[in-house]
Amino acid sequence: MRKTLLADVLRSFSKEEMKRFIQFADSPYFNTSEATAKLLKEIGRFHPLIDGRGVSKEILFEKVYGAKKYSDALMRKLISNLLHLSEKFLTVENQQLAECSLLAGLRTKKLYTQFSKKIESLTTESDISIINEDVFLFSSLIESERSIYLYEIDRAREYDIAVLNSFKYDTLYYFYQLARTYIRASHNLIYNPSGKESLILGIVSSIDFEKLNQSIKTADPVRKEVLLHLFDLIKMELTKDGSLFPGIKNFSFKYSEMHPGTTTYIGYIYMFEFISYQLKNGNRQYIFERHEIYRQLEKYSYSTNPGQMSLILFNNIFFSGIVTRDPVFSEYVLGKYILGIEAKGNPELNKFYRAWLLFQNGKFADSLKLITTFSTSGFMLDDHVITPSVKRLVLMLNFELGYFDEALYSLDSVLHFMRNSKKLSETQKESMILFTKVFRQLLLLKINNRKFSFRSARGSIGNEVSAGNNWLIEKLDGLEKSDD
């Protein structure tokens, strides 16, 4: 059973899911092969440890067929049956629109009494305060089924209203998808200036949002406030209009508080993109806006479900605390999420982040001792997410500890790494080049008391906000004062 698609599927099932799958395979409606059902029961005895020696194909075959001579072709057939059954099972277990299918079935059979009761219960129970495509699509399909039903029983006026209601949800669905797609197309354009996303960008650029806003405000759409909010998201990204930011922030915060534990709401993505734009243009006060948003996002979207935290998001949240001098928050984030991040195949990450906290607290020798034992070997994710920060930290620690020769040697090593790395993006390389350039100037001043323009050095750092750049600015300011 090792290294098979079926083994991968079965290992992903919980104990309760495996129990339901065995019952599913026992149903003659879904499976008419008794041998296939028996094989699954035998595998189920070992679940989730289904790749041990006792689960070989030969042993399982004997459990199913007794003394019958082993046939690899027959065994492969049974395994193929189980794989197809598992796909059917997952389909049944994850029917997000099953209720709409039930409505269609009741209507087709002209069971109108049951249809009416069911559609009213669905309309009452559905939580339309949630903002996602499934809710909008579900609501649209319900109204569509209602309209067909009303047409069949010849209630024309009510039919027209149901058709219009279905369209209102379609409008929400369309603009949600437009907002969800546009932010990614706009972001990718930075790295893909060829304009291959021209369709979505062309659609957005051709919409007169001001005129559309006025039309919506005077009309009676479903969820008017949500529709206007989606327009504001797209407009802020399109025009970089900062006056829209407070309203978007307020709406997004309230939404995440109303629906804790859900995935990252789209408004956060738009805010992060806007903040990145502001920071690139030198508006450093947005560092604290970003940190506030990270704190809100962590509290309401991930704190109750730590396993959903990705390494990249965790890294950003952790360093947001470092950059804004909120190490208590960084310490909290590290303690809460690091075991889950490491369990995904990123061993020893705790050393890396712990070394940064030690550095932040002025324990430079302890930090250097810890970071020198850190290795990215065995990482499931590309190590380019972490490696540049490791190299920056080693340079900074050597400087703080007065190991200037080691710092110069490390600097040459970093430059060699950058020139030869095929994993680093051009943006990452540019960032590292700027850092090493100013770092070299700091070293020359310390070692040789060489003079240089502090204004020029600070200008070389640019507007990128990072823990390393913040440290450079702090060192430059300190040296300038001592020079005066």
- Tens of pLDDT along 271-298? 999 999 999 888 888 999 999 999 999 9
Residue 17 reports pLDDT greater than 50: yes
Residue 352 reports pLDDT greater than 80: yes
Residue 333 reports pLDDT greater than 70: yes
Task: Of 317, 254, 329, 257, give the one whose Cα is nearest residue 290.
Answer: 317
Two tokens, residue 427: 């943006």
Please check whether residue 346 is in contact with residue 365, taking contact to mean a CB–CB distance below 8 angstroms: no
What integer is the mean pLDDT of 314-324?
Answer: 94
pLDDT of residue 51: 66
pLDDT tier at 456, thresholds 50, 70, 90: low
pLDDT of residue 421: 79
- Tens of pLDDT along 34-51? 999 999 999 898 887 776
Report the alpha-carbon distance of residue 314 to residue 179 in Å, rounded.
25
Q: For 94-155, where are the alpha helices, taking DSSP H only?
A: 98-108, 112-125, 133-152
Of the candidate ranges 15-24, 144-153, 393-402, 429-438, the one whose mean pLDDT is the lowest? 429-438
pTM score of the predicted model = 0.77
What integer is the mean pLDDT of 85-90?
Answer: 93
What integer is the mean pLDDT of 91-112?
Answer: 89
pLDDT of residue 115: 95
Residue 484 reports pLDDT greater than 70: no
pLDDT of residue 426: 78
Residue 451 reports pLDDT greater than 60: no
pLDDT tier at 86, thresholds 50, 70, 90: very high
pLDDT tier at 190, thresholds 50, 70, 90: very low
Residue 194 reports pLDDT greater than 70: no
- Burial code (b: 16+ CB inside 10 Å, e: under 16) for 342-355 equals eeeebeebbebbbb
Residue 193 reports pLDDT greater than 70: no
Of the candidate ranges 206-215, 336-345, 473-482, the one whose mean pLDDT is the lowest? 473-482
What integer is the mean pLDDT of 421-449?
Answer: 80
- Tens of pLDDT along 176-187? 999 999 988 776
Q: How many CB atoms lie within 10 A of CB 412?
A: 10
Residue 385 reports pLDDT greater than 90: no
- Long-range Cβ pairs for the range 415-424 (8 Å, 24+): 417/387, 417/391, 421/384, 423/382, 423/383, 423/384, 424/384, 424/388
Q: How many CA atoms lie within 13 A of 315 on its CB side?
A: 17
Residue 452 reports pLDDT greater than 70: no
Output the CA–CA distances (angstroms, integers) from residue 173 to 132, 140, 227, 260, 291, in the order listed: 8, 9, 10, 22, 31
Task: Supply the mean pLDDT for the chain.
Answer: 86
Domain spans of the chain, in order of start: 5-93, 100-239, 382-484
> What number of residues does the chain have?
484
Two tokens, residue 379: 């990482």
What integer is the mean pLDDT of 144-162?
Answer: 94
Report the alpha-carbon distance of residue 377 to residue 347 in Å, rounded.
8
What integer is the mean pLDDT of 433-440?
Answer: 85
